[in-house]
Amino acid sequence: MGNSNSRSEIIYSHQPSVTLQEIFERYQGYKIFVATEATVDRLWLTAGNILPAGTTVSKVVIPSGEEHKQLTSVAQIWEFLSRGGADRKSLLVNIGGGMLTDLAGFAASTFKRGIRFVNVPTTLLSQVDASVGGKTGINFNGLKNEIGTFCEPEAVVIHTGFLKTIDRPNLLSGFAEMVKHGLIHRPKHLEELKHFPLENPDLLRLQEIIRHSVEIKQHFVLNDPTEKNIRKALNFGHTVGHALESLAMKQGRPVLHGYAVAWGMIAELFLSVQVCGFPSETAGELSAWLTSVYGRMKYDETDYPQLFELMGHDKKNEAGRINFTLLPAVGQFEINRACSETQLRNALDFLRQR
Ligand SMILES: NC(=O)c1ccc[n+]([C@@H]2O[C@H](COP(=O)([O-])OP(=O)(O)OC[C@H]3O[C@@H](n4cnc5c(N)ncnc54)[C@H](O)[C@@H]3O)[C@@H](O)[C@H]2O)c1
Ligand SMILES: [Zn+2]
């Protein structure tokens, strides 16, 4: 059974069909089901070289897009499992980006009080972040990830070949989470990312770099599976980032999560300079680099009240305080640091004028 205390096996694969064949053999005698989404199904599964040849597993295809990470899609997966005769020993293989792995992981973790599942993430964001760490969930009542469980997949199969068909914004979106991993834990990882040729990505090299990024995420997850303390380090860039993401959404010009996180990291680096002595020269260099990759988000002072309110609504806050994870230096972090409104204003000004 998957549970939040176990560590998932992470498999770096150059041939997903072979890896899946090996996994399927381990579950011989048990029913195996596949959940995917329309785009991935069209680009990768119907082409026929991902699912092992000769296997007849039944598949459910959810429409693509974040708006489908919701209850009716969960019901669709439950119904599919139920009609297919899934029992508590069955396995669900989730093939797709973070939308699908969050959704189908949630469906698996609740079906008959939880069946085992394997994630095969197909976007960079899901390879370095969403499919690892045991958080599953759906959006509900207009709130992101409002309903969910902590439940680790049995295994995660990482194959950068899937990224051949990914568009550049989605590649950059995942890359931002890797930068975050470097910033909070390992300067060496940050350096390899700075030198990675984003214009012409070498997918074999990327597979190695992803391994380092996933190791960092696993370090935090393993030491604090349910986010009571150090896992909060992974929220770096996300307090401001989520607020910017929601603002952009409300203003009808949505941005990808990783872009919002990149901008959030610039603001929170500047907060780190003010609150815990992060070297300002390094903050300047990092901000310039991130701006060169992610551009800027347009907003002005009239948006500040709304941004403050959005940060107040971040579910990671306790008792009305806006808490941040901040960095005293690259590779170090401090959780639960509160800031004054003036410091926050300064950080938003800084981000706007970069
Ligand atoms: N559970 C966690 O810890 C965690 C962490 C971070 C993010 N998330 C969640 O992950 C989701 C975002 O993940 P995402 O960015 O992967 O989004 P996504 O799954 O919606 O994928 C983004 C787009 O890429 C398409 N796509 C997927 N694989 C492709 C491929 N190989 N080639 C071409 N197109 C492909 C999808 O159809 C979609 O249009 C959000 O719902 C977020 O809440 C979860
Ligand atoms: Zn994130």
Where a domain ends, among 165, 184, 204? 165
> How far is it, in rounded angstroms, from Cα 322 to Cα 341?
10
Q: Does 102 contact ligand 1 (Cβ within 6 A)?
A: yes
Mutate to test the pocket of ligand 1, among 100, 101, 170 (most ligand atoms within 8 A of CB): 170
* Residue of minimum CA distance from atom 11 in ligand 1: 98
Please name the residue that has the structure tokens 């029913």: 31
Say yes or no to pLDDT of 203 above 50. yes
Q: Does 238 contact ligand 1 (Cβ within 6 A)?
A: no
Please name the residue that has the structure tokens 């909070």: 184
> How far is it, in rounded angstroms, from Cα 105 to Cα 116?
9
- Judgement on whether residues 84 and 208 belong to the same structural domain of the protein: no
- Name the residue range of residue 87's domain: 9-165
Helices (H), the chain: 16-26, 38-40, 71-83, 98-110, 124-125, 168-185, 187-194, 203-223, 238-250, 257-276, 280-294, 304-312, 341-353
- Judgement on whether residues 96 and 216 belong to the same structural domain of the protein: no
- Judgement on whether residues 37 and 141 belong to the same structural domain of the protein: yes
CA dihedral 199, 205, 206, 208 (to 10 degrees): -160
Ligand nearest the Cα atom of residue 239:
2
- Judgement on whether residues 235 and 125 belong to the same structural domain of the protein: no
- Judgement on whether residues 185 and 334 belong to the same structural domain of the protein: yes
- Judgement on whether residues 95 and 204 belong to the same structural domain of the protein: no
Ligand nearest the Cα atom of residue 235:
2
Residue 216 falls in which region: left (phi positive, over 0), alpha (psi -120 to 50) or beta: alpha
In a domain, 194, yes or no: yes
Asked if residues 260 and 241 have their Cβ atoms less than 8 Å apart, the reply is yes
- DSSP run (H or E) holding 92: strand 91-96
Per-residue model confidence (pLDDT) at position 205: 96
Q: At 315, phi and psi to the nearest 5?
A: -70, -5
> How far is it, in rounded angstroms, from Cα 216 to Cα 213?
5
Q: Centre a 10 Å sphere on the Cβ of residue 143 and count the other Cβ atoms it contains.
A: 10
- Judgement on whether residues 200 and 56 belong to the same structural domain of the protein: no
Tokens of 169: 């914004």
Q: Centre a 10 Å sphere on the Cβ of residue 7 and count the other Cβ atoms it contains.
A: 11
Where a domain ends, among 104, 135, 165? 165
Per-residue model confidence (pLDDT) at position 312: 83
Ligand nearest the Cα atom of residue 261:
2
In a domain, 3, yes or no: no
Task: Give per-residue pLDDT as tens, 45-103.
Answer: 998 789 988 778 999 999 999 999 999 999 999 999 999 999 999 999 999 999 999 99
In a domain, 92, yes or no: yes
> How far is it, in rounded angstroms, from Cα 114 to Cα 107?
8
Say yes or no to pLDDT of 1 above 50. no
Task: Give per-residue pLDDT as tens, 213-257.
Answer: 999 999 999 999 888 899 999 999 999 999 999 999 999 999 999
Say yes or no to pLDDT of 162 above 80. yes
Say yes or no to pLDDT of 110 above 90. yes
Percentage of the chain lying above the pLDDT 70 cut: 95
Q: Among candidates 194, 322, 201, 338, which has minimal Cα distance to 275?
A: 338
CATH number for the domain spanning 96: value is 3.40.50.1970
Per-residue model confidence (pLDDT) at position 47: 83
Mutate to test the pocket of ligand 1, among 68, 126, 128 (most ligand atoms within 8 A of CB): 126
Please name the residue that has the structure tokens 């960079």: 124
Say yes or no to pLDDT of 172 above 60. yes
- Judgement on whether residues 227 and 346 belong to the same structural domain of the protein: yes
Asked if residues 139 and 66 have their Cβ atoms less than 8 Å apart, the reply is yes
Where a domain ends, among 165, 195, 229? 165
Separation of 237 CA from ligand 2 center, angstroms?
8
Domain count, the chain: 2
- Judgement on whether residues 134 and 188 belong to the same structural domain of the protein: no
Asked if residues 127 and 160 have their Cβ atoms less than 8 Å apart, the reply is yes
Using alpha carbons only, what angle is made at residue 177 by residues 173 and 182, rounded to the nearest 5 degrees? 140
Please name the residue that has the structure tokens 């974040």: 66
Residue 313 binned pLDDT confidence (cut-offs 50, 70, 90): low
Sequence-separated (6 or more) residues with CB below 8 Å from residue 114 = 1, 2, 88, 108, 151
Q: Among candidates 337, 343, 344, 342, which has minimal Cα distance to 321?
A: 337
Q: Does 166 contact ligand 1 (Cβ within 6 A)?
A: yes
> What DSSP assignment string belongs to 37-76?
EHHHIIIIITTTSSSPTT---EEEEEPSSGGGSSHHHHHH
Q: What is the pTM of this model?
A: 0.94
Q: Among candidates 72, 91, 80, which has minimal Cα distance to 138?
A: 72
Q: Does 38 contact ligand 1 (Cβ within 6 A)?
A: no
- Judgement on whether residues 24 and 113 belong to the same structural domain of the protein: yes
